Structure 1
């Protein structure tokens, strides 16, 4: 082979210091298992819903645009509230399962619009707009994975007869009793969103013309999860690690 074909060793342009790592021995930890019936308090999934929202809005562009380059969107939820309207008593307690409710949802779509203006060789412009929405969905018993639980508060009042005349009541003396139950508030979790959108100028512009208003029609499929913290008792296996015997074991 000719000497002209020989290649010199390649020297890294940006060399850094490195150290080869040695493999370490590992194995499974031994476990101790025992049967228990624990009581736990955990978030329970009440419902998972896809809510379709349709909004229309006009967005002003300053300076005026000649062409829309890109539009990105995100959804922000400001409230997910469950309002019960039908109930089913749990045995003979003061607690009820919710069999029908209205799910109120509100928030906004944050749009980032990138567009070019009429200036030759002009920089891309950016317009951020928040498009608000609100509404409610109807949830029936079959829409719930698990029914929400709510405890009802109660109050009682006792009145007395007049001390000197048993024929008339005493209006200045009462006995009151109030029982208040504080419930876990159902709450929402944002799972995802799917946007279907049509953007256009209300007044059609010429190919090299400009427009200052962008009208948008958005159909948003909003995916939300509704949860409530509830308490359960169930058979389970408790697991704790076992260490090798030593001077202490």
Structure 2
């Protein structure tokens, strides 16, 4: 075999290098502020109003089964998903002056959801006496449901008061057409006023997890375990909002785009 053959053989044994790519040059664009002019005066807007932003402490205890059996927990990742945030008013109620709408100083906030937990752990090798292990994971959903009290005033958690309208129903009766001594049982006038309210809604802000995971009973070193007991405290921060009308004094801003608006 000649020297050229040796060079070709060595080149064939070398691993391939990284592939090169040709970058695409970018074109610089210019930008500037868009000129604006004052528009009509705005006196009323409809926007979401923050009713409350509580941090709710949720303790949870559960037992998780690991398949296959684990030798060591490596990492645990968690996320929270909310399925329900519902605000239920509690008496007393205060009527808004001159209207059939009312506010309230107390409410129950019902919360439901689940924690998605991804547990990464090692498992024993398949060869007896081998020092290698395999890495696997198990994903579980841990549900929770409950409620908390919201109150207004000093130290309360209601920042702004919700507003709800009252439905009204009334009816009028009539005398008989033949005389004024009998009531008509077939003739009535009905009046029903239905107010459609803005539903308070929730928004997830933050979730803080504090947890202690351990096997029961405690396994011997290098032994496997298939159940994990979890004691977890979830501090859940949610924002409760309701869309309301607000009175303001402001001036709208209109972009001034010469050439796009027909001249007056």
Structural RMSD (CA): 2.5
Q: For 1:173 and 1:23, how far apart are their aligned partners in 2?
A: 76
Q: For 1:20 and 1:102, how far apart are their aligned partners in 2?
A: 55
> Which stretch of the first structure deviates more once superposed, 45-54 or 231-240?
231-240
Deviations 1:148-196 (A, max 9, x none): 1100101112233455675554444433211100000000000010000
Q: Which residue of 2 is the match for residue 236 of structure 1?
A: 250
Deviations 1:50-105 (A, max 9, x none): 00000101111122212111111000000000001132111120001222111100
TM score, norm. by length of structure 2:
0.81
Q: For 1:124 and 1:246, how far apart are their aligned partners in 2?
A: 63
Q: Which residue of 1 is the match for residue 105 of structure 2?
A: 99
Tell me the SS of whatever aligns to 2:69: strand
Match of 1:213 among 218, 223, 227: 227
Question: Any unmatched runs of 5+ in structure 2?
Answer: 1-17
Q: For 2:136 and 2:253, how far apart are their aligned partners in 1?
A: 59
Match of 2:213 among 181, 192, 199: 199
Q: For 2:35 and 2:50, how far apart are their aligned partners in 1?
A: 34
Q: Which residue of 2 is the match for residue 16 of structure 1?
A: 22
Q: For 1:116 and 1:84, how far apart are their aligned partners in 2?
A: 50
Count of residue pairs brought into register by the alignment: 237
Structure-2 change in CA distance of 1:117 and 1:162 (3 Å) = same
- TM-aligned CA deviation for residue 242 of structure 1: 2.4
